[in-house]
Structure 1
Amino acid sequence: MISPAARDALEGWLAAQKAIKGASVNTIAAYARDVADFLSFMTGHHGGTQGLGALARISTSDMRSWMAFTRAQGVGPRSLARKLSAVKGFYRWLSEREGFEPTAVLATRSPKFQRKLPRPLNPEAASAVIKALDMQSLTPWIAARDQAVVTLLYGCGLRISEALDLTGADLPVGTALRITGKGGKQRIVPVIAPARAAVERYVHVCPFDIAPDGPLFMGARGGRLNPRVIQKVVERTRQQLGLPASATPHAMRHSFATHLLNAGGDLRAIQELLGHASLSTTQAYTGVDTARLMEVYARTHPQARD
């Protein structure tokens, strides 16, 4: 049971994350679960409803107890680190509003875990996935839809959510698209001819009217397409092609970045195309290693060529 004051504070923080930072619906839902679970634990841990005063007095020992309890529930280090990050974000906001010192919470160390680097497909495998998608449905317009979505992921480096957020107002697709990514950040991405052709083919055979203010990609009944549909069809395709489980829709975005870099693309430019705030994130996406960076350095830096 969470106290009304704590629940109001949580709702206020979530509203701020959505309004100021432009957090997505899924991100807000995850934040809500993680912080609500934390507040519920503290209620039971202290044997009573936690008002704002009690939350301000949470100690290092309390934080250790929560982390131990969460791990005992089968939550892995990566997920626990995500939960702790949400709790810290909530406490930064709450402490500023209520005027208390959040050191015990903010000083809590995140558990160590091995980061899973994305595994892009090679160009042949990426091409094979896109071609095979055309044969995954007996309904021609659905097959064309699925192929168009995945072609945008690979051809433009879009997140699946970004592709499915496109509307009829984006038609006809030209040589570039204005994409709104994480945090409401906008970027311009070039659209290669095969991606434009795939979208045009889908629009031509789609049985529903695509309104300017409605979704471009529709589900079988005419509503907004669920990303899980694309995830499932790609999963079925990669199984047929004998590709590893890492061959997901998001892997097509990884592949876009890696293949651009391997063709001589600039890492900063790729960062802009992907909509990453941090260059280190782009480096992880592209699978760049030190040897590759040194090769680029040796080939392009004026001093290195002397």
Structure 2
Amino acid sequence: MNLQFDDALEQFMTYIQLEKNYSPLTVQEYRTDLLEFFSFLHTEDVKELTQVEYVHARLYITKLYEEKKARTTVSRKISSIRSFFRFLNKEYEIDDVAFQALYHPKKEKRLPHFFYEEELSQLFQANEGEDRKSLRNMAILELLYATGIRVSELTSLQIKDIDFSLNIIRVMGKGRKERYVPFGEYAGHSLTRYIEEARSALMKSNKHNFVFVNLRGGAITSRGIRYILNEMIAKAELHTTIHPHMLRHTFATHLLNNGADLRTVQELLGHSSLSSTQVYTHVTKEHLRNTYINAHPRA
């Protein structure tokens, strides 16, 4: 069988986009990973997909390590290769057993950074204000902490996704999976003030339904959210860095510290696997340990 690389790639892209319903970003990551693998195969003088063997994949993974790629990057590329050859096995009966033997590197055990409640209070207090920009920024901060949603989920949030009668937002997460996340009184108050007192003025002549807008009236971007949060940290004079995911980590950690069960937190975060949520149990245990050491007279 003379199956061309480009033809097989396009068929696979169509499959993961239409049948697997992967997001455009995920589809692009698969494409990039596979094109890089194909480029490597050409340097190894592999001209047909039927000539690809396990040794080629292992050599490629070794090359990635030599280039000091992050373990998460290597793991993602392995997943891309395995999924691609699983597809070829299904459609063209190309043997994929060897590629299923590719093993993922062990993840680096890095505990997620989060804010302590005192730091968070300082952050909120320092950024209170009555102007339109302050009302918008406070609504962003309150909603990220209240719901633990990803920054991409925040930027894609539309007015119709908010139910103020139940204090719930509709979120479209990874893999286009829909979920509903509640928010509390503080976030509800900030959102209401922002929408009623600031959003229309910030929109100017623009017409769209996205909740959060930049100062030019367009839909805010992930980069814009990061810029806003950095400004808020500087204003609060906190000696730390911030990224949107840090508020997601804080949301999960504070819930678990205050008695929420792991399954509930998993559902609120939109994690497909419980193992993704379990990292926060390590954070809470470390927090308890530090509290004990600092507070117990004979620790």
Q: Which residue does 2:88 correspond to in 1?
A: 94
Q: TM-score, normalised by structure 1?
A: 0.81
Letter in 2 for 1:187: R
Q: Distance in 2 between matches of 1:22 and 1:211?
A: 31
Q: Which residue does 1:244 correspond to in 2?
A: 240
Structure 2 spans left out of the alignment, 5+ residues: 289-299
Letter in 2 for 1:156: T
Q: Which residue does 1:274 correspond to in 2?
A: 269
Q: Distance in 2 between matches of 1:85 and 1:101?
A: 17
Deviations 1:133-171 (A, max 9, x none): 457xxx933332232122111101211111111112235
Q: Which residue does 2:279 correspond to in 1?
A: 284
Deviations 1:238-283 (A, max 9, x none): 35533433x3211111111111111111221122111112222112
Q: Which residue does 1:29 correspond to in 2?
A: 28
Letter in 1 for 2:188: R
Instruction: Indicate conservation of the 8 Å contact 1:158/1:253, yes or no.
Output: yes
3-state SS of the aligned residue for 2:170?
Answer: strand
Q: 1:152 aligns with which of 143, 154, 158?
A: 143
State the identity %: 30
3-state SS of the aligned residue for 2:114?
Answer: coil
Shift of 1:192: 0.6
Give runs of aligned pairs for residues 43-58 of structure 1, distance below 5 A.
Answer: 43-46=42-45, 50=47, 54-58=48-52
Q: Is residue 2:38 matched to residue 1:42?
A: no
Taking structure 1 as reference, are residues 133 and 72 closer, same or farther at Cα in structure 2, changes over 3 Å only? farther
Q: 1:177 aligns with which of 164, 169, 172?
A: 169
Q: Is residue 2:238 matched to residue 1:258?
A: no
3-state SS of the aligned residue for 1:15?
Answer: helix
Instruction: Indicate conservation of the 8 Å contact 2:163/2:169, yes or no.
Output: no
3-state SS of the aligned residue for 2:192?
Answer: helix
Letter in 1 for 2:155: L
Q: Is residue 2:185 matched to residue 1:193?
A: yes
Instruction: Indicate conservation of the 8 Å contact 1:70/1:80, yes or no.
Output: yes
Q: Which residue does 2:53 correspond to in 1?
A: 59
Q: Which residue does 1:223 correspond to in 2?
A: 218
Deviations 1:81-137 (A, max 9, x none): 2211122122212221111111222212223341322122111222333444457xx
Q: Distance in 2 between matches of 1:188 and 1:229?
A: 25
Taking structure 1 as reference, are residues 168 and 265 closer, same or farther at Cα in structure 2, changes over 3 Å only? same
Letter in 1 for 2:276: T
Shift of 1:42: 0.7
Q: Is residue 2:112 matched to residue 1:118?
A: yes
Q: Distance in 2 between matches of 1:229 and 1:201?
A: 21
Letter in 1 for 2:172: T
Q: Distance in 1 between matches of 2:261 and 2:243?
A: 25
Letter in 1 for 2:198: V
Q: Distance in 1 between matches of 2:32 and 2:3?
A: 16
Deviations 1:49-81 (A, max 9, x none): x4xxx2233222211221222233332333212
Pairwise CA RMSD of aligned residues? 2.9
Q: Which residue does 1:141 correspond to in 2?
A: 132
Q: 1:106 aligns with which of 64, 89, 100?
A: 100
Q: How many residues align structurally?
A: 281
Q: Distance in 1 between matches of 2:225 and 2:270?
A: 22
Q: Is residue 2:71 matched to residue 1:71?
A: no
Q: Which residue does 2:292 correspond to in 1?
A: none
Structure 1 spans left out of the alignment, 5+ residues: 293-306
